[in-house]
């Protein structure tokens, strides 16, 4: 998005507020007004910063579950790859973070760029890959709270988190396909050695 399209998200000269700012105002007035919501959202923000929480889970899983080490490492690769992709896109798009005076900014951020949300991107990638690994519905459990937390904190527009989730899902699919190809080559190599 260009900076001209961002003018629709902030107050216009007539004082009108765009739909994305209205959505942020609604989230902050409802969910964000709950006493623990900002603290929980900040904790999620720190966990997801630079995909570090997902890297830690990936490393612990790989150390503990040696039989599925490759898949656990794939979770980390997916989260980091998704995070890297989001940073590249942010630097191309250069959409500024919300700055309307009616939106409270409740956490510091490493950059002033907003689109897409790197937290949404890495969390979605990790949740999809962890869900596939464990058989649990982790995307449904983990992704919506992370997306909502970015709005509660006032650091992303709704389209930032939705785009991040889509990018994270695509990143997870790339890792999944890579793992399948690698597993197929390993099986083919073992069959050839047995012949």
For 166, counting Cβ atoms within 10 Å of its Cβ (0-12 exposed, 13-18 middle, 19+ buried), the class is middle
pTM of the model: 0.84
CA atoms within 13 A on the CB side of 34: 11
Give 5-40 pLDDT, tens digit per residue.
444 454 444 455 699 999 999 999 999 998 899 999
pLDDT of 162 > 70? The answer is yes
Contact 160, 120 (CB under 8 A): yes
pLDDT tens figures, 112-140: 999 999 999 999 999 999 999 999 999 99
Q: Confidence class of residue 49 from pLDDT cuts 50, 70 and 90?
A: very high
CA triple 1-10-167, angle to 5 deg: 35
The pLDDT tens digits of the residues spanning 103-117 come to 999 998 989 999 999
8 A C-beta contact, residue 151 and residue 161: yes
Angstrom distance (rounded) from CA 84 to CA 53: 15
Round the average pLDDT of the chain to a whole number and report it: 88
Q: Residue with structure tokens 């150390």?
A: 63
Tokens 């937390």 sit on residue: 149
Task: Tell me which residue of 60, 159, 59, 160 sits closest to 112, measured CA to CA.
Answer: 160
pLDDT, mean of residues 161-169: 97
Q: How far is CA 99 from CA 53, 122, 141, in A?
A: 28, 24, 30
Can you give the pLDDT at residue 194?
53
Q: What is the pLDDT of residues 77-86, one digit of tens each?
A: 999 999 999 9
What pLDDT, on the 0 to 100 scale, is given for residue 181? 85
Looking at domain 49-187, its CATH class is mainly alpha
Distance of CA 154 to the CA centre of its chain: 15
| Per-residue model confidence as pLDDT tens digits over 54-64 | 999 999 999 99
Domain regions of the chain by residue span: 49-187
Q: Which residue has the higher pLDDT, 88 or 4?
A: 88
Tokens for 81? 């790859």
Number of H helices, E strands in the chain: 8, 0
Cα(110)–Cα(29) distance, integer angstroms? 25
Q: Kindly indicate the confidence band of residue 186, based on its pLDDT and cuts at 50, 70 and 90.
A: low
């Amino acid at each position: 998005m260009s900076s001209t399209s961002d003018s629709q998200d902030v107050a216009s000269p007539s004082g009108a507020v765009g739909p994305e700012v209205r959505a942020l105002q609604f989230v902050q007035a409802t969910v964000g007004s709950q006493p623990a919501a900002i603290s929980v959202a900040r904790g999620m923000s720190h966990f997801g910063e630079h995909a570090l929480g997902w890297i830690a889970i990936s490393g612990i899983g790989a150390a503990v579950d040696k039989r599925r080490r490759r898949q656990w490492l794939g979770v980390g690769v997916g989260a980091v790859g998704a995070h890297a992709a989001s940073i590249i896109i942010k630097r191309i798009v250069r959409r500024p973070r919300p700055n309307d005076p009616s939106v409270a900014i409740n956490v510091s951020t490493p950059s002033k760029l907003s689109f897409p949300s790197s937290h949404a991107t890495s969390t979605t990638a990790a949740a999809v890959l962890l869900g596939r690994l464990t058989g649990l519905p982790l995307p449904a459990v983990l992704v919506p709270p992370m997306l909502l937390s970015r709005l509660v904190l006032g650091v992303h527009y709704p389209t930032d988190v939705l785009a991040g989730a889509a990018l994270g899902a695509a990143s997870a699919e790339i890792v999944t396909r890579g793992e399948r190809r690698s597993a197929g080559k390993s099986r083919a190599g073992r069959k050839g050695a047995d012949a």
